[in-house]
Amino acid sequence: MIDWTDRHCRYFHRLLTRRARLYTEMVTTGALLHGDAPRHLDFDSEERPLALQLGGSDAAALAACARLGERWGYDEINLNCGCPSERVQRGAFGACLMAEPELVADGVKAMRDAVSIPVTVKHRIGIDRLQHYGFVRDFVGTVSERGGCEVFIVHARNAWLHGLSPKENREVPPLCYETVHRLKHDFPRLSFVLNGGIARGDEIEAQLGHVDGVMIGRAAYQDPFAMTSWDARFLGGAVPSIDRDAAEDKMVRYMEGVAAAGEPWTHVSRHMLGLRNGIPGARRWRQVWSDHRLHALSPREVSRRARDAMATVVQFDAAEA
């Protein structure tokens, strides 16, 4: 979810679910230790509970970054062992680390020794075209026993390290939820969170009969308002008292603050384009918010125009009916 789940996106999503745990986009250890750490780590306290996802393989660097994350106020440190991009592979992290479980275990142990918050691992069920349960079973066994990891977030596909783009790696390798279910059966004391291909509430509910949690990625981004049902249905909370108009109003105020701080408000608006998916006029509303000719206007004025355009479409449809 690089370039997707930045702090503006997470602020928006937290309006829609108060209890679901949010994750940052993957941040490399090098970016934190040798770059602009505040730019990568700053977040609004409203985003919590929030996990910092790290990319890296050096135990000392991971430990140093985990300490930074804990000091910044994150609730969890997550090590990415699932990203298949060739750029990530060149940095010796991501999905290629699944071939080196001892190295992953050393990194996890170093982080666990450095912080008091949970350290988790996100990974695939295999790499390349090898469909062999023993591979992922041994990976989990080594990382849990040697590294002390207790929570594994499992994207239920292989990662093909060559020949597929990151987008194709989310679609071409077949999903195999049964592999994740089998891991839970074989490691009952560990927690497993299933990721990959889950989009609807009924699908989440079905998987919670087999695993301890479900992670939703792009489906939540593309249809964010679906998250408003999660707290009451799955997390023991109340339904957030917010509708689409109220969510847009809150985001307009947030964009005004971002613009006042010198950042283009369009860095925020792109994340909420799915807010009205599935309702009449949504396409026209998105077109207005995406119109580069309007970027010199205030977000409040763009919101007014977008709603007017949506209402015009709805009225036109009603007249046609």
> Which of 83, 96, 149, 176 is labelled catalytic?
83
DSSP 268-288: HHGGGTTTTTTSTTHHHHHHH
Residue 75 phi, psi dihedral angles, 5° rounding:
-95, -10
The Cα angle at residue 106 between residues 102 and 107, in degrees rounded to 5:
120
In the block, tokens 């004391």 appear at 189
96 is an active site residue: no
Measured CA distances, 52 to 56, 79, 101, 113, 167 (Å): 13, 9, 21, 17, 23
What proportions of the chain, in percent to the nearest 5, are helix, strand and coil? 55, 15, 35
Structure letter (DSSP) for residue 241: S
Residues marked as catalytic: 83
